Amino acid sequence: MKIVNIVVNLIEYHQLNETFVLLLKRTNGPYKNQWALPGGKVEFGERLSEAIIRETKEETGILELKNLNLFLIVNEVVSLNNTRHDHFLVNFFSSTVDNNLVESSTEGELRWFTFENLPKKLVPSDRKAIELWFKSSKSKSIEFRECDLELVSLDQQGESVDLKLKNWMSEI
């Protein structure tokens, strides 16, 4: 098994005194039926900055990102029955947009959430990243974390039904 390099984007939209975050309800892969930050795989030879712009456009239709910032890198190992299932190096970016217009996505439903009303079925590492971003005063420094996720159950197609955060290491 190889490590898959991933980019995800914490996209913020500000309206009046509220901040909204764009999430995508995944329709396939190990995070099926989980809400997640938009993003995907880095292609061979692609810079992270190119990948995040491409993935954001593909999954949301958003063409113009402001304040693009890499703020967190997570080494994420997903296990099933104590056997490693997937391994990702997740590069978390943040950005802002001027409006809340998004296109429909073939990857799943897109919806804006406030920080106080994040969905229950949110990929645990994405939830931790969102919490970290909002609690850290949106610092420009980059942090590195490691986490372990456990696939709690699989449906008959081998897709995940639920995920549990087993370990979130803030110190290495």
Active site residues: 109
Q: How far is CA 86 from CA 40, 124, 141, 147, in A?
A: 14, 15, 28, 12
108 contacts: CB under 8 Å, gap ≥ 6: 24, 25, 26, 27
Alpha-carbon distance 125 to 115, whole Å?
A: 15
Spatial distance between the Cα atoms of 132 and 90, rounded to a whole number of angstroms: 15
- The CA distances from residue 144 to 10, 27, 71, 73, 170, in Å, are 16, 28, 9, 5, 8
Q: What is the dihedral of CA 47, 52, 54, 59, to 10 degrees?
A: 150
